[in-house]
Amino acid sequence: MPPPRSAGVLLFRQRDGLQVLLIKPGGPFWRNKDAGAWMIPKGGVEPDEAPAEAALREFEEETGTRLNAIPFPLAKVRQAGGKLVEAFAVEGDLDIGTIRSNHFELEWPPRSGRLERYPEVAEARWMSLAQAREMMLPSQLPLLDALAAKLSS
């Protein structure tokens, strides 16, 4: 069985140098984590969906903002759990104060029978590449190198 596929967007802008938009997931697992917990907005690719379409859909679901730019292929990374993430990049700007994430339900505490509702994105932040390298999920760090390489060529 192939590993789960996911697609996402690394939004970037030039403001006091190169900055990238990263999100911190919501929910109890990520609540007390910071360094190593930030990532690109991403999610599952549906069976008949192109990865770039999934990346744009997931970005909108997780931030509340539709991107009108055409994303360019960035890189594929395999996360620690085996999920394959296909990332795309888009140059743009976004006021992080306008982020409106979708929500998910989770039984919490585990085996309690209580369903709690959490935002898929707890926080979004613009970061320099150096800041992003400190804060990003380790398996997604190659995306920063891929972006820097694409922009320098």
Per-domain boundaries in the chain: 5-152
d(CA 136, CA 85): 14
The whole-number average pLDDT for the span 27-31 is 90
Of the candidates 146, 28, 4, 150, the residue with the CA atom closest to the CA atom of residue 76: 146
Instruction: Tell me the CATH number of domain 5-152, given options 3.30.9.100, 3.40.50.1000, 3.90.79.10, 3.50.50.60.
Output: 3.90.79.10
For residue 80, the model assigns a pLDDT of 83
Model pLDDT for residues 66-89, shown as the tens digit of each residue = 999 999 999 999 988 889 999 999
- What pTM value is reported for the model? 0.94
